[in-house]
Homo-oligomer: A and B are copies of this chain.
């Protein structure tokens, strides 16, 4: 059975379609690499790419794309709403099939090493690949962004894992490993953003909620409602139904009802199936009973 890894590199270019296509071309027609999706956001000035495939083939395609991005993107000219520190901003590897998170950590390190060797670009390792606990969190690593990175990487706590200086036009990339992430939003029948934020705080890990949930309240003014917008950071340990049902419970004290949900972008089959399994109370169910799972083996 072949190992399958997912990689979701983020590029700091979301407006110039010629440049975007040159970057995406690095992922096309490569044996062992499947380009599942890419989407560009003009406000963020950023393109998010989703790849799956054989680990070494994915690594090589990413390293090639880093070379293209280095040539195409000048970070001294970049502006956009999304925080960023490099032309290739983040490169997370995610285990999909027959792979452990540890193997993804190794792949992240090999990739960062190749990026430096072939293109002379520097990297931090982050999340599960981080070289110290205070360097796991991407937001903390990226704080100061491209403009602040030249000074930041000279501080003892923030020395680069690969390279010694922030590259003058490319910046710095964060390369790491993490579990599949599910973007899951639960809709509330209140327009009161304060209530949505309170509920988000009650269910998220940071404030005493579920371990693998990050969440904030978000306004949806066109529908006069709000939502609890979540990142499910490990659905194998905190399933979608648990967050959904807990939000219903927390909403009760405000007289607010859950009216639906959204799943944004790609979701692993198992995240949905474990949820069906729970609602139906299926006894002794195995993911091996799923026809498509068996077909992929």
Contacts and interface: CB of A to CB of B under 8 A. Distances in A.
Interface stretch (A24-32, A40-48, A129-137, A255-263): A255-263
Contacts of A295: 4, 34, 36, 52, 96, 296
B282 A260 contact: yes
Interface in A155-185: 180
A272 B240 CA distance: 14
B261 A294 contact: no
B260 A281 contact: yes
Interface in A1-32: 4, 6
6 A-B pairs with least C-beta separation: A260-B281, A275-B276, A276-B276, A279-B279, A272-B276, A269-B292
A277 interface: yes
B280 A240 contact: yes
Given A273-B273, A275-B276, A268 B292 contact: yes
Contacts of A281: 187, 258-261
Interface string A280-295: 1111110001111111
Counting every copy of the chain, the complex holds 2
B269 A290 contact: yes
Contacts of A36: 291, 294-295
27 contacts: A6-B291, A34-B295, A36-B295, A37-B294, A52-B291, A96-B295, A180-B291, A260-B280, A260-B281, A261-B280, A261-B282, A263-B282, A266-B291, A266-B294, A267-B289, A267-B290, A269-B269, A269-B273, A269-B291, A272-B276, A275-B279, A276-B276, A276-B279, A279-B279, A292-B292, A295-B296, A296-B296
A265 interface: yes
A281 B244 CA distance: 10
A283 B187 contact: yes
A272 B284 CA distance: 15
Nearest to A52: B295
A241 B280 CA distance: 7
Contacts of A261: 280-283
Contacts of A289: 263, 265-267
Nearest to A277: B272
Contacts of A273: 269, 272-273, 276
Contacts of A272: 272-273, 276-277, 290
Contacts of A296: 292, 295-296
